[in-house]
Structure 1
Amino acid sequence: MCGRYSLSKSKIELEERFQAEMLSDFKPRYNVAPTQLVPVITSGSPNGFSFFYWGITPEFGKNKPVSQKLINAKAETVDQKVSFKSSFQKRRCLVPADGFYEWKKLGKKTKIPYRFTLRDEELFSMAGIWEEYESVNGETQHTFLILTTNPNPIVSDVHDRMPVILSKELEKKWLDGYTSIDELKELLKPLSGDQMLSYSVSPLVNSVQNDTPAVMRKTSPMDQHGNYTLFG
């Protein structure tokens, strides 16, 4: 799954990379978590960033509280699931990021957080789908989820899933309403491992309350717990 990511670049960097207008008060994010309001780019508004909640309520489960929302969908079955089929066909989006986090399990209780980025640590986009629904208060809400796929060799050492990362050349195709289902499915492949790097980070990332550059800081796994035999 993909349960945390970072978007630590500036407003100007985001606007230049995606050729879309960002809110003037945008602030970099270092530890984006589900249920939060974050920027995406939709086919309906490709020239500006829209702010949607991360966590989608399927059409058959309207008015569910945030805690019951889904945050990911498997790329292999997204076009078959009743809960996602319509969004996949009609409501796709790009989810800007410059890294994502996963936790490597060591034993029953220990988990080491890792950050994954492109080799140049530049911005990229994750494939997403979005939904519009009515909240319990009668307000219209927009939410999204991130599509995941099998991991490449870089990610597989830590986790069994990774987000679908789209190359810059394929982003327009993903948003294009005329792209066929078969063509869309072909886009949902793991990004090559030779385009990525990973490193262990501070356990500060474990808490969603910590949204500072410190959570992205490279930290030796042995330093995280003061245990030099951890990887011994």
Structure 2
Amino acid sequence: MCGRYSLSKSKIELEERFQVEMLGDFKPRYNIAPTQLLPVITSDSPKGFSFFYWGITPEFAKNKPVSQKFINARAETVMEKVSFKNAFQKRRCLVPADGFFEWKKLGKKTKIPYRFTLADEGAFAFAGIWEEYENELGESNHTFLILTTAPNSLVSEIHDRMPVILRKEDEKKWLDNYSSQEDLLKLLGTYQAEEMLSYTVSPLVNSITNDSPSIIRKTSASIDQFGNYTLFG
């Protein structure tokens, strides 16, 4: 499961990396959580950033609020689930990020937060799908979720799933409405561990009210969710 990520790059850096335009201002985000309004690049509008809510509302659940339950979909079964199949076929998106967080469990009560990035710590894109629905006021809202897959050897030490990270050269294919289902499914593999980094971060990441550069800084020692130092890393 991917339930928290970061996008600490500036508007200029994101426009240069993805070669799309962002209208309006953008404030770097260090502790992104479900239900928040976030930048994505869609197959319907590949030349610019759109802002959608993280937490998809499936087609069969019309007029429902943004869901915290549907924030991820398993890549292996995305074509088998009624709730996600149509979106996978017609409404795909890039979810810009520069890192994601997972928590290593040490016993029943202790958890250590880790951040995962690419080796160069640059921006990348998760594979996402999106939906459009009407809220209770009859207004049109857009939501997205992130596809997940089996973890590589780096992530598997912490968690049994990881988000699908697309290679830069595959991003256009993911957005291309003419890509075949077979070609799209081939893009949903596990990113190589040798091309990634991981490190422990501050327990400040545990609260979504904290959103500052200190969230993504490497800690010199492992600190659990209560702020206690631990010998395990």
Give the percent of matched residue pairs that are identical in Structure 1 and Structure 2. 74
Deviation at 1:65, TM superposition (A): 2.8
Match of 1:231 in 2: 232
Where does residue 80 of structure 1 map in the other structure?
80
Partner amino acid, structure 1, of 2:9: K
The C-alpha deviation readout for 1:184-232, integer Å capped at 9, x for no partner, is: 111100101011000000000000000100111111444454444x429
Cα distance in 2, alignment partners of residues 223 and 106 from structure 1: 11
Query: 5+ unaligned residues in a row in structure 2: which ranges?
Result: none
**Most deviating of 19-28 and 129-138:** 19-28
List gaps (5 residues or longer) in structure 1. none
The answer to whether structure 1 residue 56 and structure 2 residue 56 are counterparts is yes
Q: Name the CA distance, whole Å, in 2 between partners of 1:63 and 1:69.
A: 16
CA contact (8 A) 2:66 2:143 kept: no
Give the superposition deviation at 1:77. 0.3
* Residue correspondence of structure 1 range 15-26 to structure 2 within 5 A: 15-26=15-26
Aligned to 1:103: 103
Aligned-pair distance for 1:50? 0.2
Q: Distance in 2 between matches of 1:68 and 1:16?
A: 31
Kindly indicate whether the alpha-carbon contact (under 8 Å) linking 2:203 and 2:223 is maintained by their aligned counterparts in 1: no
TM-score by length of 2: 0.95
CA distance in 2, matches of 1:207, 1:68: 16
1:159 and 2:159 matched: yes
Question: CA-to-partner distance for each residue in 1:126-164, whole Å, 9 max, x for gaps?
Answer: 000000011111111000000000000110000000000
Which residue of structure 1 aligns with residue 178 of structure 2? 178
Give the equivalent residue in structure 2 for 1:9: 9
Contact preservation (8 Å) 1:57, 1:69: no
The alignment's C-alpha RMSD in Å is 1.4
2:112/2:223 contact within 8 Å kept: no
Q: State the SS of the aligned residue for 2:77.
A: coil
Q: Kindly report structure 1 stretches of 4+ aligned residues shifted beyond 6 Å.
A: none
How far off is 1:67 after superposition?
A: 4.7
How many correspondences in the alignment?
231
Distance in 2 between the 1:139 and 1:206 partners? 32
Code of the aligned partner of 1:141: N
